[in-house]
């Protein structure tokens, strides 16, 4: 396990989990993960490419091996970033609670787990599987996206979910409008994606002909 690198003292570790399809991973993911690592004193950030997301059709996303390899290429220069295959090795639909359980270990001996996700997604957490256990096992880093109102998020959180206030921390990442959908659309149109994703990922996409229309 990643947290055993801290001289076996797992309880002293803070690890960040960043899930997503990563189809493909892009600069916004990497900037967000690095900012979260520094602001919340995380020992590592572990990227977890989804296997079979319950909310998406399997045919609409690239093969797991492509997404895993692109993510690995993107993080290889950062010694604090790792990639886990825990979800892509599972054929059944994967849920956040299962991944958090995997990394949290026992409550007394496991690391402190921070789950990094979009601030808008946080407001839907009460629709997630086993959300009560999820809130007990980890703390959330809610990342704001361009055009998303943090004031509206705070108001909604305090009004509707007061019990979550101490379990959610806000992280604002300004001026990062890039998305995986935008990158796929540009590739399909034959447009450049340079500087939107790391160069090794850009070359991988070209080599394997990913996201080409038709």
The answer to whether residue 175 scores a pLDDT higher than 80 is no
| pLDDT tens per residue across span 135-151 | 999 999 999 876 777 78
User: For residue 207, is it within any domain?
Assistant: no
Q: What interhelical angle do 27-39 and 64-75 show, nearest 10?
A: 60
User: For residue 195, is it within any domain?
Assistant: no
Task: 98-106: list long-range contacts, CB under 8 Å, 24+ apart.
Answer: 99/17, 99/19, 99/48, 100/17, 100/134, 100/137, 100/138, 101/137, 103/1, 103/2, 103/3, 103/15, 103/17, 103/46, 104/137, 104/138, 105/1, 105/3, 105/10
CA angle 179–145–139, rounded 5-degree value? 110
User: For residue 162, is it within any domain?
Assistant: yes
Total of domains in the chain: 1
> Scanning the structure block, which residue is given the tokens 């998303």?
148
Average pLDDT score over the chain: 88
User: For residue 122, is it within any domain?
Assistant: yes
pLDDT score at 214: 56
pLDDT score at 2: 44
The answer to whether residue 107 scores a pLDDT higher than 70 is no
| pLDDT tens per residue across span 90-105 | 888 889 999 999 999 7
CA dihedral 60, 29, 183, 180 (to 10 degrees): 20
Q: Using 50, 70 and 90 to split pLDDT, how confident is the model at 173?
A: confident
User: For residue 13, is it within any domain?
Assistant: yes
Distance set, CA 4 to CA 61, 107, 127 (Å)? 33, 15, 33
CATH code, domain carrying 61? 3.40.50.620
Q: Using 50, 70 and 90 to split pLDDT, how confident is the model at 64?
A: very high
DSSP string, 103-143: HH-STTTSPEEEEEEEHHHHTTGGGSTTHHHHHHHEEEEEE
The answer to whether residue 108 scores a pLDDT higher than 80 is no
Highest mean pLDDT among 17-31, 49-63, 151-165, 166-180: 17-31
Range of the domain at 103: 2-176
User: For residue 89, is it within any domain?
Assistant: yes
User: For residue 196, is it within any domain?
Assistant: no
pLDDT score at 158: 87
What's the CA gap between 207 and 214, in Å, rounded?
17
pLDDT score at 55: 61
User: For residue 188, is it within any domain?
Assistant: no
What's the CA gap between 57 and 59, in Å, rounded?
5
143: tokens are 């990342």
DSSP string, 43-58: SEEEEEE-SB-TTS-G
Q: State in Å, rounded, how far the first CA of the chain is from the last one.
A: 41
What's the CA gap between 150 and 188, in Å, rounded?
33
17: tokens are 């989990």
């Amino acid at each position: 396990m990643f947290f055993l690198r801290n001289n076996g003292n797992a309880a002293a570790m803070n690890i960040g989990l960043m899930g997503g399809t990563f189809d493909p991973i892009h600069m916004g993911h990497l900037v967000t993960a690095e900012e979260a690592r520094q602001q919340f004193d995380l020992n590592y950030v572990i990227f977890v490419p989804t296997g079979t997301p319950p909310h998406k059709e399997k045919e609409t996303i690239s093969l797991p091996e492509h997404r895993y390899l692109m993510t690995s290429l993107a993080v290889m220069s950062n010694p604090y970033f790792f990639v886990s295959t825990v979800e892509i090795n599972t054929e059944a639909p994967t849920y956040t609670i299962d991944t958090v359980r995997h990394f949290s270990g026992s409550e007394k001996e496991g690391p402190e787990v921070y789950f990094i996700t979009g601030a808008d997604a946080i407001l839907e957490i009460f629709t997630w599987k086993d959300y009560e256990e999820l809130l007990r096992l980890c703390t959330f880093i809610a990342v704001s996206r361009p055009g998303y109102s943090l004031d509206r998020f705070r108001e909604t959180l305090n009004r509707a979910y007061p019990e979550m206030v101490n379990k959610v921390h806000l992280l604002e990442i300004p001026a990062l409008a890039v998305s995986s959908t935008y990158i796929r659309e540009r590739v399909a149109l034959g447009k450049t994606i340079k500087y939107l994703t790391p160069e090794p990922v850009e070359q991988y996409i070209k080599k394997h002909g990913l996201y080409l229309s038709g």
